[in-house]
Structure 1
Amino acid sequence: MASAPIDRLLPGKPYPLGAHWDGLGVNFAVFSANASRIDLCLFSANGRREMQRLQLPECTDEIWHGYLPHAPLGTTYGYRAFGPHEPARGHRFNPHKLLLDPYARQLSGPVRWSDALFGYRLNSPRADLTPDRRDSAPMMAKGVVVDESFHWGDDRPPDVPWPRTTIYEAHVRGVSMLREDLLPHVRGTFAALADPRFVDHLHALGVTAVELLPVHAFLQDRFLIERGLRNYWGYNSLAFFAPEPQYLSTNQLHEMKVAIRRLHAAGIEVILDVVYNHTCEGNELGPTVSWRGLDNASYYRLMPGDERHYINDTGCGNTLNMSHPRVLQMVMDSLRYWVQCFHVDGFRFDLGSTLGREAQGFDPGSGFFDALLQDPVLSRVKLISEPWDLGPGGYQVGNHPPGFAEWNDKFRDNTRRFWRGDAGQRGELAARLTGSADLFDRRHRKPWASINFITAHDGFTLADLVSYSHKHNEANREDNRDGSDDNASANWSPDGSVEGPTDDARILDTRGRVARALMTTLLLSQGTPMITAGDEWGRSQNGNNNAYCQDGPISWLDWNDAADPANAANAAMLSCVRRLLALRKQLPVLTENRFVHGRTRPAPGLADIAWFDPDGNELSPDQWANPEERTLALRRAAHGNHTDDDTVQVILLCLNAGGTDVEFRPPPPGTQWRVLFDSTAPDNDEAPVRNGADGRAAQRVPAHGAVLLAANVSRDENG
């Protein structure tokens, strides 16, 4: 704080918002349209003692501001806002509650739960209508004024083209908490992400981007703390400009920047999973920690005619009011901050449909989308939406504007069901294998717009998907009621009775085959694949498909499993992923940046896409309509790496989701086919396809297996 107390602040400036040090002092600026007064509160360096309280002297265009001369870096602060406490009109001002600056760059410490954090008197017969007069400052996190400079050297964004992008979804804490080769204080932090051994793992695996679950500072849910659990995933934002304090081993912001710098040096992009659809303040019965106390009626979408209550399209109690210009500005400023100050390469927007909502519902031309896509900084990074929420008309897969990629849950669900052996899945799988053109081939969008995934943080891991027929979330202490009941999973025991671990070699063999077939389908499909951290070696969550509150071994990655040479199944999966990602880089036909519909012929008589039965015949309408078919062969053809190359690259992906081996006879062109990859034997080297007794090439595809064949033909001939 300031070296010598002063009686009042200088007027300062209304821009930029937040607390900014200029070498001589700190300018403070905060938005509130409905406050009558805002006080700046200055605290000791540890945030425990309020040292001084000063009224912000000016309000310009609804921005309250003041300048504190001689204030140093490290100044610790918060706000108190005065105004009407009229919940029925949407106003919840209470100056007894210390408020975190929505633009705070760093936090002094965690929030400590107490009844004093609530703006109303808990257990009052009038519910949230009676103001609480206890001071919440001792329990609140405070903002810290920081120096944002960092020597980036020659850092440049890897700028990986979308068609060559492969995403690795990971949790900052979970990827390293069980790393025995790291010092204890480094585990679970950005410093561990910067460790060369982790970077080398990603590089050797072949992924091009790491997508981090929320790193914004977040609030631990009180009900979880009382159960002895924690909010592990972090979808409970407390500050949109500050990293989560527990992820900084040094308590220095440069730690995160160093991690990003080192990942960039390895050619790996960093994408942040961000939560701008709601905040940690919940519904009208939630705590008052920032936005609610500064200007509830502006920051949140309230029920028309009943502004005491919140519109809850997110299922989290509240919804940010993205139609308000200052709220939209806050989100845009936050996004630019992470790009410009931390060099992140993109964002995955949690509940993206909420961000696109206007008064009439979801709108692909919403103010948020328009602002984002015209922004000279943000329009150039990778933008990914989770295209659904819980509100009316919230499911919007394929309906986001050009420039966005979208999580494609249809790919997840159909691929799972096909390999489980469900009836009637083959026709839809054909669409999923080729970029889901039925969803995304409009408005000149590209196949990369489909983010294909089999698993994500939310749901079963890949190993559990083939080991459990039902969820097992008892550790969450909700009587196994939480989490989805529809997982399209199977435990692959003959009678379905063996859930989870087993010593039965036949069950383990089938589980491994199905898991590798699922991974093969993911990594050989058109679109942008996303792998969940740990799936590359078979990580399990013991059947928990909703581990949001499991900050422990259930969620953490066990690197001993990854390195155990005695675990053949894990080694086979790791080999499988590495081989497939290498093939994805080697074969341009797998990453072609256009939708294919069979209307282009790279060589005479050779369509760019065609579908076949195991006998090498193109599928008839009756065969497509047969719900009991469990096989499919997809032929793709494209020119080589250069448009003037005379070679046409042809691949044939043969899928057998049945329980018995099937012999596939490749269709023309020619007989010079070679096996590039067999999911049932991922370590096998490339080999020619042998001819059968009739002289035709014939390739056995084992039960629950996927085999990739390839051939090259001349552009002028169809040999």
Structure 2
Amino acid sequence: MRVEPGAPYPLGATWDGRGTNFAIFSANAEKIELCLFDPPGRREIDRVVLPACTEDVWHAYLPEVVPGQVYGYRVYGPYEPERGHRFNHHKLLLDPYAKRLTGHFVWSDAHFAYRMRSARADLSFDKRDNARGVPKAVVVDDAFTWGRDRLPRTPWTDTIIYEAHVRGLTMRRRDVPEPLRGTFRGLSAPGMIEHLRRLGVTAVELLPVHAYVDERMLVDRGLRQYWGYGTIAFFAPEPRYGAPDTVVEEFKAMVGQLHDAGIEVLLDVVYNHTGEGNHLGPTFSFRGIDNASYYWLRPNTPRYYEDFTGTGNSLNLTHPRVLQMVMDSLRYWVEQCHVDGFRFDLATVLGREPHGFDPTAGFFAAVSQDPVLSRVKLIAEPWDIGLGGYQLGGFPAGWSEWNDQFRRTVRSFWRGDANQIRDLAARMTGSADRFRHLRRMPRASINHVTVHDGFTLADLVSYARKHNDANGEGNRDGSDDNLSANWGIEGPTTDKEVLEIRRRVRRALLATLFLAQGVPLMLAGDEVGNSQGGNNNPYCQDNEVGWVDWSGTGEEESDVSALIALLTSLRRSFPQLQGRRWLVGRQGDHHDIKWLTPGGTEMDGADWAFAEARFLSYVLAPLEPSGAPLLILLNAAAHPVDVVLPKWPDCTGWARVLATAATDADHALPPVKPGTKLAAPSRSVTVFVGS
């Protein structure tokens, strides 16, 4: 095979129409071999030493290599864990820039660079070849016919996010053809898209779709990684979500079809760590290519990793080449795959510098100046497990953040806990105490009550404690702090009184989410009462436990879906719900928000300090003179609360537009005059519009 020096850029395998350029970074390698395989990836057919190295990038150009070629790397260098180096050329390594994978992981001791049972542990050296048991990279042609694909570019103020798992969303959905269930094509099936449109969803946020590895301990227990938080290739879609040869094209087609429906695609991305684990983990890619560059190592004992993530390792974005890889990956998904934004898992890690988290860190600076990435939606999970890792509100302007304080407060309030109304008022108005700085707006707060990590909405009102025995960890995994309630009976019941309370609380939680300032995010399946049987950590449940159960088609489930559709419609109809500006209360003789007692008068300090209050009400003024005010009543008490409808300038009547305690939530009653007394039902949300 003819070999030319090629070029150091772009990194990865790049087909130019005549041949393929291969380029891979390693600052500490001594030699790198490119291994070419037959189409199934079982037999090595050629091996090429990369002939050139430019500024730590090793490269070659092969005129005879075309798309479809299967390949991997062997990297030579010192195996000196005490110095942070873990090179072992006996291990076939994935290209960090691989855009498609073929084959599957087959676990064996050969995947470890050291002898597993050696008394010297990872200081020993293993000479077994692991090539037969690892997936390989495939050269791809990036060309794709997008047609008239138009990015929805939904404003933040209009955004409604639906968090879903590609596989779990459709595995049990009957209107998706069986061969497509659990795939990218299934997610974009007509029935699925129509369901999202009926709810009023504007964006789907997909759990990780980057290729990942099933941890060995799960495989040994007969389980598998389900959520996908063990990324091993940041450019390649997970092969199990499509046909092996066309999974990249299927992902792009899915994005285009969702865009046609006006729905954006956001990806949950895991750039904080990889699936290689700690110093005793396997060698699949980064560790064997240049361990000392890719990972945070302890300064005085580089044999060990800094673990800010709880997974054993942390990617080191302070290294320019690691930062480049992350930026290249993000741009690839935006430019080549038309993705509309990202949710960054454990995003505090991405902003870590040697002195700790820094909102001016290199990653944030790189994103903010990037002409592509600075225009997409950027969402941080604002914490990690390291020192100073909780950074809610600490991210730069332009970013939004998962607001776990919203989740805690709203769950506590509707559970009936004391001392909640002051915090609830802050959460309903965009959490200004956390985000009102650096010219950030309420959209910085991504509000949620339930997400993949924790109870579903149905389980939140049905279980007082977690039930994670199926995970095989003795029910020790998952959070014990769920702020949930079973309302008298743990789990499923036929008790009508308990079921009615659960129904009311579930609907009130949803209404609170969508009526709050900020960006609402709901969990897929909550609209149909999906349950995980009390499992609040089904990360390894790629089965009926983790998949959305769409069989809930009874009156209650249809009623909840209709409620969500009504709530998203209210957000579209009343701009004051969208968090377009911060609320300040009284401005001279005018209020943009007015907090009210049940008697219809303005709240004072004593009202706010009343620890046993389970009721909060307020009026949101219209943003424009021609608009209408909204009166919102939230009653978490176990009994009705008598309410006097307040007076408001130019308002002659209040018409009910939402009543979560009723079964006719979308039925509007005739307007009621200000000063009228009525009862706010127990455990309910009621909304009136002024006229």
Question: TM > 0.5 between the two?
Answer: yes
Instruction: Name the counterpart of 2:604.
Output: 620
Instruction: Name the counterpart of 2:16.
Output: 22
Alignment check: 8 A CA contact 1:649 1:711 kept: yes
Instruction: Name the counterpart of 2:643.
Output: 664
What pairs up with 1:68-107 in 2 under 5 angstroms? Answer: 68-107=62-101
What pairs up with 1:225-624 in 2 under 5 angstroms? Answer: 225-249=219-243, 251-252=245-246, 253-493=248-488, 498-561=489-552, 564=553, 567-600=554-587, 605-624=589-608
Letter in 2 for 1:165: T
Alignment check: 8 A CA contact 1:177 1:556 kept: yes
| Displacement after TM superposition at 1:109 (Å) | 1.6
Deviation by residue 1:580-605 (Cα, 9 ceiling, x = unmatched): 1111111111114111011447xxx4
1:688 pairs with 656, 670, 691, which one? 670
Measured in 1, the distance between the counterparts of 2:25 and 2:572 equals 49
Measured in 1, the distance between the counterparts of 2:526 and 2:164 equals 11
Measured in 2, the distance between the counterparts of 1:450 and 1:108 equals 39
Measured in 2, the distance between the counterparts of 1:599 and 1:24 equals 69
Deviation by residue 1:94-115 (Cα, 9 ceiling, x = unmatched): 0000000000000012211110
Give the SS at the match of 2:204. Answer: strand
Letter in 1 for 2:223: L
Measured in 2, the distance between the counterparts of 1:82 and 1:699 equals 78
Measured in 2, the distance between the counterparts of 1:114 and 1:683 equals 59
Measured in 1, the distance between the counterparts of 2:663 and 2:427 equals 23
The alignment yields a C-alpha RMSD, in angstroms, of: 1.1
What pairs up with 1:116-135 in 2 under 5 angstroms? Answer: 116-135=110-129
| Displacement after TM superposition at 1:179 (Å) | 2.2
Give the SS at the match of 2:218. Answer: helix
Give the SS at the match of 1:52. Answer: strand
Measured in 2, the distance between the counterparts of 1:623 and 1:141 equals 63
Measured in 2, the distance between the counterparts of 1:265 and 1:192 equals 16
Measured in 2, the distance between the counterparts of 1:703 and 1:532 equals 25
1:700 pairs with 668, 679, 689, which one? 679
Deviates more, 1:182-191 or 1:225-234: 182-191
Tell me: CA distance 1:557–1:251, structure 2 relative to 1, closer, same or farther (3 Å): farther
Measured in 2, the distance between the counterparts of 1:389 and 1:349 equals 11
Instruction: Name the counterpart of 2:38.
Output: 44
Deviates more, 1:63-72 or 1:680-689: 680-689
Measured in 1, the distance between the counterparts of 2:263 and 2:309 equals 32
Measured in 2, the distance between the counterparts of 1:84 and 1:699 equals 78
Give the SS at the match of 2:179. Answer: coil
Alignment check: 8 A CA contact 1:433 1:525 kept: yes
Alignment check: 8 A CA contact 2:646 2:675 kept: no
1:674 aligns with 2:655: yes
Alignment check: 8 A CA contact 1:178 1:558 kept: yes
Measured in 2, the distance between the counterparts of 1:180 and 1:619 equals 51
Unpaired segments of 5 or more residues in structure 1?
Answer: 1-5, 641-645, 713-719
Measured in 2, the distance between the counterparts of 1:376 and 1:243 equals 24
Instruction: Name the counterpart of 2:628.
Output: 649
| Displacement after TM superposition at 1:699 (Å) | 3.3
Measured in 1, the distance between the counterparts of 2:609 and 2:678 equals 25
Measured in 2, the distance between the counterparts of 1:436 and 1:680 equals 27
Letter in 1 for 2:257: R
Deviation by residue 1:116-159 (Cα, 9 ceiling, x = unmatched): 00011001000101110000111111000011111111111100
Instruction: Name the counterpart of 2:623.
Output: 639
| Displacement after TM superposition at 1:529 (Å) | 0.3
Letter in 1 for 2:591: A
Alignment check: 8 A CA contact 1:637 1:649 kept: yes
| Displacement after TM superposition at 1:687 (Å) | 1.4
TM-score normalised by L of structure 1: 0.94
Q: Which stretches of structure 1, 4 residues or more, deviate above 6 A after TM superposition? A: none
Alignment check: 8 A CA contact 1:191 1:256 kept: yes
Give the SS at the match of 2:132. Answer: helix
Alignment check: 8 A CA contact 1:690 1:699 kept: no
Give the SS at the match of 2:235. Answer: coil
Alignment check: 8 A CA contact 1:689 1:699 kept: no
Letter in 2 for 1:577: I
Give the SS at the match of 2:8. Answer: coil
Alignment check: 8 A CA contact 1:103 1:239 kept: yes
Aligned residue pair count: 687
Alignment check: 8 A CA contact 2:531 2:549 kept: no
Alignment check: 8 A CA contact 2:430 2:579 kept: no
| Displacement after TM superposition at 1:700 (Å) | 2.1
TM-score normalised by L of structure 2: 0.98
Tell me: CA distance 1:479–1:521, structure 2 relative to 1, closer, same or farther (3 Å): same
| Displacement after TM superposition at 1:227 (Å) | 0.5
Deviation by residue 1:268-288 (Cα, 9 ceiling, x = unmatched): 000000000000001010000
Letter in 2 for 1:44: D
Alignment check: 8 A CA contact 2:175 2:191 kept: no
Deviation by residue 1:154-196 (Cα, 9 ceiling, x = unmatched): 1111000001101000000001111234343311000101211
Measured in 2, the distance between the counterparts of 1:699 and 1:264 equals 45
Tell me: CA distance 1:432–1:689, structure 2 relative to 1, closer, same or farther (3 Å): same
Instruction: Name the counterpart of 1:33.
Output: 27
Instruction: Name the counterpart of 1:3.
Output: none
Instruction: Name the counterpart of 1:201.
Output: 195
| Displacement after TM superposition at 1:249 (Å) | 3.2
Measured in 2, the distance between the counterparts of 1:543 and 1:460 equals 7
Tell me: CA distance 1:191–1:648, structure 2 relative to 1, closer, same or farther (3 Å): closer
Deviation by residue 1:187-230 (Cα, 9 ceiling, x = unmatched): 10001012111011101110100000000000001000110111
Alignment check: 8 A CA contact 2:39 2:70 kept: yes
Give the SS at the match of 2:143. Answer: coil
Measured in 1, the distance between the counterparts of 2:536 and 2:426 equals 27
Measured in 1, the distance between the counterparts of 2:174 and 2:127 equals 48
Letter in 1 for 2:496: A
